[in-house]
């Protein structure tokens, strides 16, 4: 979760979304979503899923993560919150 400084949520979300081409090149990243809250427009959620721990490690040391962490922190009110998680249930995307 990324919490932008007041009024900077749109720019922060755009900078995160700019990493999409790098993510698309990652074979092991099976889902990657950038979501902006309707109730707090300065809160952005980045949801990503990987086919293995190795793919997660590759992603976190790759160009997408590097791009995000090089361009987004200056817009944030607090440090990004990372919550590694496991899928419990899902509905496939249409």
Predicted model pTM: 0.92
| Three-class SS state of 94 | coil
Residue bearing tokens 């952005």: 44
Using CA atoms, how far apart are residues 5 and 75, in angstroms rounded to an integer?
Answer: 6
Query: Which is it for strands 43-50 and 29-36: parallel, antiparallel or unpaired?
Result: antiparallel
What pLDDT digit, counting tens, does each position of 44-93 carry?
999 999 999 999 999 999 999 999 999 999 999 999 999 988 889 998 87
């Amino acid at each position: 979760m990324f919490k932008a400084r007041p009024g900077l949520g749109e720019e922060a979300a755009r900078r995160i979304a700019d990493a999409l081409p790098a993510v698309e090149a990652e074979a092991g990243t099976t889902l990657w979503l950038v979501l902006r809250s309707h109730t707090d427009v300065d809160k952005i959620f980045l949801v990503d899923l990987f086919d293995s721990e190795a793919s997660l490690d590759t992603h976190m040391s790759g160009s997408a993560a590097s791009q995000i962490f090089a361009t987004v922190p200056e817009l944030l009110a607090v440090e990004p919150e990372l919550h590694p998680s496991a899928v419990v249930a899902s509905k496939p995307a249409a």
